[in-house]
Amino acid sequence: MFDLLLSNALLKGRRVDVAIQGSTFAAVEPAGTLAQAEARERLDCSRFLLRAPFYNTHTHQAMTLLRGIDDDCALMDWLTREIWPREARLTPHAVYAGTRLAILEGLKSGCVAFNDMYFHQPAVIRAAEEMGVRARIGLMYMDQVSDHIENDTTLALRDALPPTIGLSIAPHALYTTSPELLRRVADQAESLGLPLHIHAAETAAETAIAKERFGFDSPIAYLDACGILRPGTILAHCCHATEADLALIAARGCFVAHCPQSNQKLASGVFPWAKAAAAGVRITVGTDGAASNNGLSMIAEAKAAALSAKLGAGAPDALRFADLDRAVTEEAAAALGFPNAGRIAPGADADFILIDLETPAFAGGGDPDANFIYAADSSCVDTVACAGRLLMRAHQVPGEADILAAARTASATLLAP
C-alpha cells in the first residue's frame, strides 16, 4: 500500500498518477494507471499542475523581522547604520520567530529548502525541523566576535540532525574577515567535510576592498587564494565576477547563488548569467534576506532571475525557460546537498508542489510551467510537500496565526527606538 497517491496531475504537459511511499516517489505513471492501487491517502489533482518545488540557495531567514528598514540605502551604509545596530538586540527566541515567518512565506511560494547564514543557529534548526523543510545552516565567521553566533553548539548537534538538515561553514564576506580567518575556516571545511557558503563579488565596493586591502584585482581570485573556492562552495551574488573569475568558479566546482532582487534593490550589479552558463558555472537562485529583497517568494525571484539575465545580456534568449527551471529546482537541490531531490521521478525524494490551474495565469494557454513562474504568484500554490510530508494543504500551513503573532512581537522589540 502506498502512503499517498496523486491522481491525474498535470506534469510537464502530460497527465500522470504519482505514488509516494515514505519520503520517496514510488511510481510516476500515465493517468489512470494507478486508479486501483491501494493508498492511505489520495489527492484528486485534476485541477493541479504538479512541479518540483523551489530550493532557496542564499538567505538570512530571520531578517524577516528587519524588513522595510531604509529601503533606499546602499549596502555598506545600510548594514552599518540600519542593520547591525538592530541585530545587536537579537535573541534566540527572535531568530526562531523570524525564521518560522520566513519558512511560512517560502512555503506559500512553493519553496521547501533554504541555505541560511545567520545567528543563533540552533533556533533556526529547530524552526526548520518543526516545520518540516530542508535546510543548510551556516556556522558563521566574522572578525568581529558576536555572542549571537553559536557555532560550537550548532556543530555539537550535527550527528543528531535529520537527513533534511545539514551544516555549512559560512564566513560572511571578504570585507568582514581577515585572510587568516578565511584560510582557517577553509581548512576546517576540509577537516569537517562541510561545504562553504560566502558572499562574493556582490558590489563594486567589494572589488575595491579586494584590491586595496588584499592586493587582488578580483574578490573571487582572492577568495580562491584563501582556499574558499572548493567543490560545492556556494558563492552568493557574483555580480562583479569577470570572465576569468567565472572560469575559475566553474573549474573549482562551486555553485553561484544568484540573488537578482536584492542586487537590483541595492543597485549592487547584474550577475552575468549568460557568460557564467557559457563558462560552465552551476547557477542557482536565492532570495537573500527579507531586509534587502524584500519578499521571499521564489516565484518572483525566479522571474527576476530570468529578466535580469535577459536584460543583462541584451538578448531574450540569454536564459531559456528550461534552464531557469532546472536552476531553481534540481540544480539548487543539489547545491544544498540533496542530489536526489528537485525532480518528480520514481526513486527521487518526494518533494512537490501543486499549483491551482483554475486561476487567471493559467486560463489563456501557453506552457503552464512557464506561466507559473512568469505570470502567477503565491496565491496559486495550493499544496506543498517535502520528503513525502504535506506541509501546506489548501493554502494553509499549520499554526499560521501563531507564527504571524510571534513574528510581530519579536520584530517590534528589534525595531523599538
Footprint of Zn ion (CB under 5 A): 288
Q: Which residue is nearest to Zn ion (CB)?
A: 288
CB closer to Zn ion out of 234 and 361? 234
Question: Cell 573549482 belongs to which residue?
Answer: 252
DSSP secondary structure string for all residues of 338-383: -TT-SS-STTSB--EEEEESSSGGGTT-S-HHHHHHHH--GGGEEE
**DSSP bridge pairs for 412:** none
In angstroms, the CA 64 to CA 67 distance is 5
The two beta strands, 134-141 and 39-44, are unpaired
CB closer to Zn ion out of 23 and 99? 99
Q: What minimum distance in Å lies between the beta carbon of 32 and Zn ion?
A: 47
Q: What minimum distance in Å lies between the beta carbon of 246 and Zn ion?
A: 20
CB closer to Zn ion out of 335 and 384? 335
Q: What minimum distance in Å lies between the beta carbon of 80 and Zn ion?
A: 15
CB closer to Zn ion out of 245 and 288? 288
- On the CB side of 219, CA atoms within 13 Å amount to 24
Please, what's the largest Cα pairwise distance for the chain?
69
Can you list the positions of beta strands (E) in 45-93?
A: 48-51, 54-59
Radius of gyration from C-alpha coordinates of the chain: 21
Q: Which three cell numbers stand for residue 320?
A: 531559456
CB closer to Zn ion out of 288 and 325? 288
CB closer to Zn ion out of 3 and 82? 82
C-beta of residue 312 within 8 angstroms of C-beta of residue 274:
yes
Q: Within its chain, how far is the Cα of 369 from the centroid?
A: 19
Q: What minimum distance in Å lies between the beta carbon of 1 and Zn ion?
A: 45
CB closer to Zn ion out of 18 and 254? 254
Residue among 234, 204, 235, 236 at smallest CA distance from 217: 204
Q: What minimum distance in Å lies between the beta carbon of 201 and Zn ion?
A: 13
Q: Which three cell numbers stand for residue 23?
A: 519520503
Q: Does residue 161 sit in helix, strand or coil?
A: coil
C-beta of residue 19 within 8 angstroms of C-beta of residue 2:
yes
Q: What minimum distance in Å lies between the beta carbon of 199 and Zn ion?
A: 5
C-beta of residue 200 within 8 angstroms of C-beta of residue 171:
no
Q: What minimum distance in Å lies between the beta carbon of 178 and Zn ion?
A: 20
The two beta strands, 234-237 and 197-200, are parallel
Q: What minimum distance in Å lies between the beta carbon of 117 and Zn ion?
A: 6
In angstroms, the CA 178 to CA 201 distance is 16
Q: What minimum distance in Å lies between the beta carbon of 231 and Zn ion?
A: 22
CB closer to Zn ion out of 186 and 259? 259
CB closer to Zn ion out of 87 and 288? 288
